[in-house]
Structure 1
């Protein structure tokens, strides 16, 4: 039985100022759409028995109508091909208050699509396949209680567990973001035929039959250079879990330029140019760090020349580590992260004891910002 496992598609994500010339949309938003389209094309061409999406289908609780429409079109294609699609909600798209409602309700009436989003453990039976899917969406800190409800049913040939959470064991697999849930590896149990995990953005074998598929696009510079895609396996066949790479935009975190000795501004610029020209910035997302540069040298850098050399990049930023005259340092970026990312980081660090109120304010803020273009 062939299964495709994906997660963290983050539909609706956008960043930076570059606009796609054909559609007029934010280029990174288009990139995220394209990654999911590639997956759906592969599924239609190879016709698996089952698709498992392990959460964060959308990037926010209130995705735009455009993002929703894009997903609906792709799900209808899969439905037409009679490919079952199980999807659990992740931390990005799960509202703190149930009264807020979930965008996943729109999918309930699509034949062959099985959304799980109520914050509780659910079973999805595929009697014709001999498969029982044990699905646990993001639960707002009740994940361990929901895991205790899971019982293996050997009337089915295959028992599959789906979770959207970080896992702590020999290694710690987490994103370090607001509202994430963490479980111990031992709490997963060892009797499942496969465990499809979402939330951690790198494809990795956690242990036993537990796997993260990773995200389908690179969403931060911590993911620069990582391959992105999904997993394919054949239960009852060779049992090998294979990573299938998607063709996505390059993201590069270049080797830092470190100021040493008494370099002049011209010599520093030569090193910066060397890094830029060496990576061919056209159509790429790039970051360069310049470390320990004296304030006096920083003030004479040819910023216009850097802008000219990187004008064909989708995004280019330099993170400057500047040494002040008094010996102190400060960091300066030539660009900012997206408004939504900055707001989410601000709320994560905001000192408010009422966690429920804090989460509500965060969801409201992200909802209002959903219609605002991200900018540098």
Structure 2
């Protein structure tokens, strides 16, 4: 038997502009923690292979903290005799097309993993155990592919020496949307079943879509591992996790392993159901009732209300209450209307120049802690310069 752990879309280092620096740091730590859970599972299950289908990082220039963390986790698996295969995704794919520019190539150069960096030419490696042979190959995401096209159609180069034996189980790792599960309005590259049918593989592993799924057609299989966290509002019903694939003589089995991740919720408050007298407190009561300190909460204020009611709502107070009661709080007012006219902008909490500078400084120190002294010196210089120009801090 050969055991394979399959993951994708971990988005390590993801930035949330609405998170305070200390909470952003905690959120990023949680993203690393769930990835570590996947690695520990692979070790405990004595997996033979670990497959990563792209978007390990949320950026093509990952932070040193995340690079160091991944080096440690990959080393743990190598020490436990787990072979690691990986490709680049659309988030961690660089704009340039040189294969060496993918962040995951660092770990290949260190001898920890095998990557498939080409976007069109198939390369492969054959893994053998217990008289079972499997072929593992992959194509990294191609940033040149735009719009609703099939990125593989007429663009995959299969080498002349590609094995054709029927008893060799063949896997192709990709990072694209799949037409069977893509959003109907999505304008992005989508792999078609027709193309997959014509290619010489038995199993296709597709990163990119955050909702886990499987599909079978003819004698071929598609596994979409999904993400290991909920990242954006709208994903509150996702069940983040990864797959365990087992291959035995003549058959394969796969099981989705769910992860315990940070809760996410969308809350809709219809202002037509809120009393016009003291609406701010009524809104805050609803928010707090649906809040807790670990929650990622998005509150949508909807409805058409009189101008007098709109003017009496203290949006700053609502934001403050939501932020204090949740891990992350987002106030959505796109569907809020004043009777007879549109709302172009809503009042935002007013921060002094000094407060804004402090927030920005904390952000940069968190991003580049080794430059802390330089950043603080720059902040001091900016404040002195603003004072000299009589700008109120």
The secondary structure found in structure 1 opposite 2:86 is strand
TM-score (norm 2): 0.75
Q: Which 5+ residue runs of structure 2 have no aligned equivalent?
A: 146-150, 350-363, 370-393
Q: Which piece of structure 1 moves more, 318-327 or 220-229?
A: 318-327
2:24 is equivalent to residue 14 of structure 1: no
2:224 is equivalent to residue 212 of structure 1: yes
2:169 is equivalent to residue 158 of structure 1: yes
Report the alpha carbon displacement of residue 222 of structure 1 after superposing the two structures with TM: 1.7
Q: Which residues in structure 2 correspond to 1:166-181 (within 5 Å)?
A: 166-169=177-180, 171-172=181-182, 176=186, 180-181=188-189
TM-score (norm 1): 0.78
Change (3 A) 1:18 1:280: same
Query: Which of the numbers 152, 162, 187 marks the counterpart of 2:195?
Result: 187
Given that 1:136 and 1:143 are in contact with CA atoms closer than 8 Å, whether structure 2 keeps it comes out as no
How many aligned residue pairs are there? Answer: 332
Cα distance per residue 1:181-240 (max 9 Å; x no partner): 322222111763321110011101244311211111111002123111101121227633
Q: Which residues in structure 2 correspond to 1:1-376 (within 5 Å)?
A: 1-15=2-16, 16-20=18-22, 26-98=25-97, 101-111=101-111, 113-129=113-129, 130-139=133-142, 140-141=144-145, 143-147=152-156, 149=158, 153-154=164-165, 157-169=168-180, 171-172=181-182, 176=186, 180-189=188-197, 192-208=201-217, 209-236=221-248, 239-254=252-267, 256-260=268-272, 263-266=275-278, 269-270=281-282, 272-277=284-289, 279-294=290-305, 295-303=307-315, 304=317, 307-308=320-321, 310-320=323-333, 321-330=335-344
Question: RCO (CA 8 Å, sep 6+): is it higher in 1 or 2?
Answer: 1
Change (3 A) 1:219 1:127: closer
Provide the rounded CA distance (Å) in 2 between the counterparts of 1:298 and 1:86.
55
Given that 1:269 and 1:302 are in contact with CA atoms closer than 8 Å, whether structure 2 keeps it comes out as no
Report the alpha carbon displacement of residue 27 of structure 1 after superposing the two structures with TM: 2.2
Given that 2:127 and 2:136 are in contact with CA atoms closer than 8 Å, whether structure 1 keeps it comes out as no
Q: Which 5+ residue runs of structure 1 have no aligned equivalent?
A: 336-367
Change (3 A) 1:334 1:293: farther
Report the alpha carbon displacement of residue 174 of structure 1 after superposing the two structures with TM: 8.5
The secondary structure found in structure 2 opposite 1:260 is helix
Given that 1:318 and 1:334 are in contact with CA atoms closer than 8 Å, whether structure 2 keeps it comes out as no
Change (3 A) 1:126 1:33: same
- Rg comparison, structure with higher value: 2
Provide the residue aligned with 2:359 in structure 1: none
Provide the residue aligned with 2:355 in structure 1: none
